[in-house]
Structure 1
Amino acid sequence: MEVGEVGRARAIQVQGMLAVLRHVHAHPETTRAQLARDLGLSRSSATEIVARLHALRLVEEGDAEPTGARGRPTRVVHRHELGPVVAVVDISHESWRLAVAHLGGGLRLLRREPHGRPPSPDQVLAQVATALGEVREQYGGRLRAIGISVPGTISDGRLVAAATLGWRDVDMARRLALTAPPPVVVGNDATMAGVAEARRGAAAGAGVTLSLTVEVGIGGVLLEHGRATTGATGAGGEFGHMPFGDPALECPCGARGCWDVEVDGRALARLMGDPPPAAPRSAAEAVLRRARDGDAAARSAADQVARNLGRGVAGLVNALDPHVVTLSGLAVAIMDVAGPSVRAAYESGLMAFRRPAPPPLLRARFHEDGSLRGAAELAFDAVLCEAGLQEWRRATRPATAGPA
């Protein structure tokens, strides 16, 4: 075989291995027969590729749960217990979380720590850096990428602004001393939550998804077949700063009339006649509990915030034309308490041609940990590629130990 033909054969082999790996990641506990059918492989090719991946400690095979049917037991393909992992960090307005994710989407939460007040980037990121160092020591060469979710505007990998945290122009990777491999993926928390819903959650299989998350303010992302559309520099999806609100209200971002300040704990506190809360998410949950328990003032505030949410969603649907809309974070609690108000405002704000069959408003599957799961998905994108496979081959000779 000539040199060019050898190179082409190797490239085909690598692409076949990556296709199987990505399928196992997207469909944990798949069978070899399913792999062959879904990927258009012959049985022998599927067997050969699975064997190669097993030799690299990327996948294993085991018996499926017994069904009582006759014949040979079905063998399932799943992650190798010594396979690659990614570390994921979610920095929210009130705390930070650290987890480790495995091939196939399994997530294990390791730590959760509250912030001081006000949350200092130096203090918070120093704590996170120490925790990530411990994960590196624990998993060694199995740690292949790091995903970081932040509640702010991300442009070209930098945190431009997290208005409600009071952080500006933070180089996350440098602050965390992550200047060497493994690769680091930094993203907006709402964007990452949307990725989780589009790939594994309520919107799995939808062509175009509008994902919205209410925490302190509202953010989101438009996704096409699980891929986020985030604009020229990655800063897209700042839906909370569209002028859907009262122009008399100033947002911490510097603009007036932002939707952000009409749909969260700050809005509920204002409607209740309370001072601006130090912890808006916790304050919102308290008001919504009172509304659920029958408090008339809290119920009125919840209905107003629900209408503010529904009208804004309608505007985005008119502009972006998604198949489905997923709602996450505090939006789920608002739907639980005042769902009819959300839907009435949503439907009345839609263009007439959309009303007979409007894009459904879906409760997010991962409404509490979507940003962590989305960060894991994007971190694994950096692993399940040709360069990532080559790096894994180099890193696992000799075998790398570490917890499963």
Structure 2
Amino acid sequence: MLAEVRRTPGVTRAEIARRLRLSSGLATELCARLRELRLLTEEPAPARGRGRPTTVLRAHPEGPLVAVLELRQEDWRSAVASLDGAVRLVETVRHGPGHGPADVLAAMRSGLDRVRRGRERRVRAVSLSVPAPVRGGRLVENSTLRWRAVDFADLAAGTGAPLLVGNDAILAGVAETRTGAAVGAAVAVHLILEAGIGGALILDGRPMEGAHGTAGEFGHMPFGDRSLRCLCGARGCWDVVVDGNALARSLGDPTPSDVRTYTETVLARAASGDVRAGRAVRDAAVALASGLAGLANAHDPDVITLGGLAAPLRAAARDAFDAAYLDGLMSFHRAAPPPVLDAAHADDGSLHGAAAVGLDHITTESALATWSDLHP
């Protein structure tokens, strides 16, 4: 029942009973128990013609919560998620000068304290999204931030809440398959472009994280220029021909300190008629499309979703993108190519994915039993 409430916000008790094949009496009994446990509450549903009135199920105002933290290249965000899947943004804070791990994590810990203030017993998990591969709860390496082997264990220390750490692109892919553009897809590829390319292959709603949790580093597949070495240390990475650094190189500009903002600026210049910016954007869009065709050939997905700056990059050179995508597909795919859709969650995919993973954790049988013990 909790899963159905998350899946369809505002669902009625009658509709949940139908989906779960429950008698109206049993549905009423379960809802009463969930109210007692401060998990769900009920509100009158809007009248829809004749028939017995029913109720809408929502998260209880005193129910368990997930504190969500999202580390990004230029800033970090905090939010709180309730059992009905609603995510409320609390604050956005830009990194200070130097933005080393110690300073940023100290600021994020203060932000977490603000999220928890007045909700200490209700926050049952802390879910963190980071823009880098994650192994054993640690950031492996972010070449743009120049962070390596960062441990987040102290972030939630003393809160009594477990800390869940995930890669931003994988989490964004989870969000798209749960409540976004890839709902219902058995096989989905999600790609996110920020300061580089990340992504996820998702099978039946579950991301493939690899043997060590670092799968989805699509930007480091050798789809790029073999004469160029990536910041990751490999040669010919896809990143080096698509992201903001690639645009700067095409335009003869210095390496940008804020890759996302620089990319947005170049896209705006191209839209205003700047010929050189337009040519650079077109080249990056073609490189993006060609790589996506390779992923489609490799994984045969039902759908590909684009998050971050990938969607506006495609939109800025749509004809060139479409031609390159089709040209890169194996011939038998071209009659019905896997659709490439803009992500429904846009820039908030990682935030919603982290919330979803956190809510999964606090609604396990053991977690609900612990909560029940607090509300006998």
For Structure 1 versus Structure 2, the TM-score category normalised by the shorter chain is over 0.9
Output the CA distance in 1 between the equivalents of 2:32 and 2:204: 30
Q: Is the 8 A contact 2:196 2:242 kept in 1?
A: yes
Q: Is the 8 A contact 2:39 2:63 kept in 1?
A: yes
Output the CA distance in 1 between the equivalents of 2:13 and 2:168: 35
Residue in 2 that maps onto 1:151:
131
Q: Is the 8 A contact 1:159 1:168 kept in 2?
A: yes
Q: Is the 8 A contact 2:2 2:84 kept in 1?
A: no
Residue in 2 that maps onto 1:342:
321
Q: Is the 8 A contact 1:173 1:179 kept in 2?
A: no
Q: Secondary structure at the match of 2:248?
A: helix
Residue in 1 that maps onto 2:98:
118
* Paired letter, 1:137: R
Output the CA distance in 1 between the equivalents of 2:167 and 2:194: 12
Output the CA distance in 2 between the equivalents of 1:34 and 1:187: 33
Q: Which runs of 4+ in 1 moved over 3 A?
A: none
Q: Is the 8 A contact 2:78 2:115 kept in 1?
A: no
The TM-score normalised by the length of structure 1 is: 0.90
Q: Secondary structure at the match of 2:320?
A: helix
What stretches of structure 1 of length at least 5 have no aligned partner? 1-19, 398-404
Residue in 1 that maps onto 2:2:
21
Q: Is the 8 A contact 1:183 1:382 kept in 2?
A: no
Output the CA distance in 1 between the equivalents of 2:106 and 2:156: 9
Superposed displacement of residue 43, structure 1: 2.1
Superposed displacement of residue 60, structure 1: 1.1
Q: Kindly report which structure 2 residues correspond to 1:179-194, keeping only aligned pairs within 5 A, or say none.
A: 181-194=160-173
* Paired letter, 1:50: C
Residue in 1 that maps onto 2:20:
39
Q: Secondary structure at the match of 1:382?
A: helix
How many residues of Structure 1 are paired with residues of Structure 2 in the alignment? 376
Q: Is the 8 A contact 1:192 1:375 kept in 2?
A: yes
Equivalent residue for 1:200, pick from 179, 204, 207 = 179
Equivalent residue for 2:280, pick from 286, 291, 301 = 301
Equivalent residue for 1:170, pick from 150, 159, 163 = 150
Q: Secondary structure at the match of 2:306?
A: strand
CA distance 1:255–1:117, shift in 2 (3 Å)? farther
Q: Secondary structure at the match of 2:183?
A: coil
2:337 aligned with 1:358:
yes
Q: Deviation per CA, 1:220-278, whole angstroms, max 9, x where unpaired?
A: 00112221111112111111110111112121111111111211111111111111100
229-238 or 70-79: which moved more? Answer: 70-79
Equivalent residue for 1:108, pick from 88, 96, 99 = 88
Residue in 2 that maps onto 1:16:
none
2:249 aligned with 1:251:
no
Output the CA distance in 2 between the equivalents of 1:161 and 1:197: 25
* Paired letter, 2:102: D
Q: Is the 8 A contact 1:196 1:373 kept in 2?
A: yes
Equivalent residue for 2:247, pick from 257, 264, 268 = 268
Superposed displacement of residue 117, structure 1: 4.2
Q: Deviation per CA, 1:173-222, whole angstroms, max 9, x where unpaired?
A: 23x14366312110111111111111001111111110000000000001
Superposed displacement of residue 41, structure 1: 2.0
Q: Secondary structure at the match of 2:121?
A: helix
* Paired letter, 1:231: G
Superposed displacement of residue 135, structure 1: 2.1
Residue in 1 that maps onto 2:349:
370
Superposed displacement of residue 134, structure 1: 2.3
Output the CA distance in 1 between the equivalents of 2:148 and 2:249: 26
Superposed displacement of residue 88, structure 1: 0.7
Q: Is the 8 A contact 2:70 2:78 kept in 1?
A: yes
Superposed displacement of residue 119, structure 1: 2.2
Residue in 2 that maps onto 1:388:
367
CA RMSD of aligned residues (A): 1.3
Output the CA distance in 2 between the equivalents of 1:269 and 1:396: 57
2:291 aligned with 1:325:
no
Q: Secondary structure at the match of 2:358?
A: helix
Q: Secondary structure at the match of 1:308?
A: helix
Q: Is the 8 A contact 1:141 1:396 kept in 2?
A: no
Output the CA distance in 1 between the equivalents of 2:66 and 2:178: 17
Q: Is the 8 A contact 1:141 1:395 kept in 2?
A: no
Output the CA distance in 2 between the equivalents of 1:225 and 1:54: 31
Identity %: 49
Superposed displacement of residue 42, structure 1: 2.2
Output the CA distance in 1 between the equivalents of 2:15 and 2:211: 38
